[in-house]
Amino acid sequence: MHKERKGKHFIKNPFYEGGLKAMREFISQNKKYPKDALKEKIEGTVFIKYTINYKGKVIETKVVKSLGYGCDEEAERVVKLMKFEAPKNRGIKVKFFKNIQIHFRLPKKKEKPAPRQVQSNISYTITPSKKEDSAPEKKKGGGGYTIQIKY
């Protein structure tokens, strides 16, 4: 008769559904760069300590390392949106404390390509070049084409 195996840990930690990669994706999709930080060209990382209740909801956040210009508030807003899977812990209502870093990097500017100037009334014709008959031993590479462009 086998005994039931107990878990390695007495209290099981909450986890984000999909793992760390899914959490990063969620943050990047929901994070909006603050206008003040964008205007002042501020980049950096906000460190946040947050509390997860026994239901898996983020109930409290605290900025440990600030960046300012609206980045702190935005980071707290995004962290409060997260929802964790909280396993049952023997009927005990446990709060969990975790830390996270929210990175703010300026969006890369996309250079607009120079507008093309298209001229109408242009026509072209391609005709094979005339080959001069020569002896087979003096034959060099392939033929060519002549391109005529008319404006």
E strands, the chain, where? 44-52, 58-65, 96-104, 123-128, 145-150
Cα–Cα distances in angstroms (integers) from residue 94 to residues 7, 60, 98, 145, in the given order: 17, 14, 13, 81
In three-state secondary structure terms, 2 is coil
Let me know the angle formed at the C-alpha of 108 by 105 and 111, rounded to the nearest 5 degrees.
170
Residue ranges per domain, the chain?
A: 19-104
**57 near 21, Cβ under 8 Å?**
no
pTM for this predicted structure: 0.65
Q: Which CATH superfamily is domain 19-104 in?
A: TonB (3.30.2420.10)
pLDDT in tens, 61-109: 999 999 999 999 999 999 999 999 998 888 889 999 999 999 999 988 7
Query: What is the structure's pLDDT at 32?
Result: 95
